[in-house]
Amino acid sequence: MKQIITFTTLALLLVGCSEKKETVKEVVIPKVTVKKINSTVEKESLTYSGTIEADNTVSLGFSVPGRISKVYVQEGQKVNKGQLLATIDQTTYKNAFDIANAGLEQANDNFKRLNSLYQKGSLPERDFIAVKVAVAQANANKNLAAKNLADTKLYAPFSGMITAKMTEIGATAAPGVPAFTVMKTDKVYAKASITESEISKLKIGTDAKVEISSLNETFNGKVAIVNPSADAVTRTFNVKVRLDNKEDKLLPGMISNIKINTGNTVDVITVPSESIIRDANNILYVFVVKENKAIKKRVSLGSFKGNEVIVTKGLSIGDSVVIAGNKNLKDGQTVSL
């Protein structure tokens, strides 16, 4: 009986040892391909995100009061410089002009008559001066009446687009109350905010390229404005690139990507685009190999150059960047080359 128990125990131990051997897993070391990073000399270019804004936007209104009699344009309509936009009722102003004109004619007739007497010595000096003043006053009254009559018509000060119409036929116009907003669009600006460290690199007249992704087009322009005063909140400086817009493709508010060549040269680091990994939080990183370990490094990117992309932050010259076999790597994982 004792032998049977002994053999049974021994068999169980052997089975247990066999099961333990089966659970041992072989550790697989992933093989990767790396590229050692070197720098290259490139022309320095600065890239910014910006928005398109109009060259000039003004609010227009009548300088004399009255009731709107005609409106000739609508919101969104293109207008030319000097185009009539609206008029107010002219009856009162036409009557005032006629009265002022008649007053001037009367003053001139009176002056001619009394001037003849004055030349003969039959009119006192003070009376002659008074009649001259009356003519001047009548002339001023006519000029004012003529201006008021002319101001019953509102014209576009430049070619552009009506972006807002705040009046209708029958509405009351008053000085200082806007009736239209006109936006000048034949030239526009791409506006961006830059840091203190970069403002000294930009000069007025520098060539720039502005990409509008919504149009899938790139436009050539020049730096027109470099504001030397920083924003009090963001501590950034405004830069504007002026663009021709004769075809009215560029609309205020469009998102733009602005690239400005500074004329300087810089050392840049580039890596193959396949080495870049984007995680679920939209963070960009690469793996570098150091002492057979994959080290995760967060990077910031610049522009693309063919199949390569410029790394502006996160890598150093001499780093060995994983360019193949990086998809399932983990930070600190042992790798083989």
As annotated, the residues of the chain forming the CATH 2.40.50.100 domain(s) are 62-88+152-178
DSSP secondary structure, 3-51, as one string: HHHHHHHHHHHHHHHHHHHHH--PPPPPB-EEEE--EEEEEEEEEEEEE
- The pLDDT assigned to 1 comes to 42
Is the pLDDT confidence value at 214 over 60?
yes
Query: Looking at residue 321, what is its pLDDT?
Result: 94
Q: What is the pTM of this model?
A: 0.65
Single-letter amino acid, residue 279 = D
Q: Within the chain, which residue ranges are assigned CATH 1.10.287.470?
A: 90-150
What digits encode the pLDDT tens for the residues 110-158? 999 888 888 888 889 898 889 999 999 999 999 999 999 999 999 999 9
Higher pLDDT, 69 or 197: 69
Q: Say which residue, 165 or 27, is predicted with more confidence.
A: 165
Q: Could you tell me which CATH number the domain at 33-42+267-324 has?
A: 2.40.420.20
CATH number corresponding to 90-150 = 1.10.287.470
pLDDT tens-digit map of 148-193? 999 999 999 999 999 999 999 999 999 999 999 999 989 999 999 9
Residue 328's pLDDT is what?
87
Residue type, 248: D
Which listed CATH number (2.40.50.100, 2.40.50.140, 2.40.37.10, 3.40.50.2000) goes with 62-88+152-178?
2.40.50.100
306-314 long-range contacts, Cβ below 8 Å, gap at least 24? 307/272, 307/273, 308/270, 308/271, 308/272, 308/273, 309/270, 309/271, 309/272, 309/273, 309/276, 310/42, 310/268, 310/269, 310/270, 311/269, 311/270, 311/271, 311/286, 314/285, 314/286
In this predicted model, what pLDDT tens digit does every residue of 239-293 receive, in sequence order?
999 999 988 899 999 999 999 988 888 888 999 999 999 988 999 999 999 999 9
Superfamily of structural domain 48-56+185-264: Efflux pump adaptor protein, beta barrel domain (2.40.30.170)
Q: How confident is the model at residue 7 (pLDDT cuts 50, 70, 90)?
A: very low
User: What is the pLDDT at residue 24?
Assistant: 54
Q: How many CA atoms lie within 13 A of 120 on its CB side?
A: 7
Residues of the chain with CATH 2.40.30.170: 48-56+185-264
Instruction: Write down the pLDDT at residue 327.
Output: 87
For CATH 2.40.420.20, the residue range(s) in the chain are: 33-42+267-324
Task: Give residue 117's pLDDT.
Answer: 83
- At residue 262, the pLDDT reads 85
Q: For residue 181, which amino acid is it?
A: T
What is the end-to-end Cα distance of the chain in Å, rounded? 61
State the average pLDDT for the chain.
89
Identify the burial level of 164 via C-beta atoms within 10 angstroms of its C-beta, where 0-12 means exposed, 13-18 middle and 19 or more buried.
middle
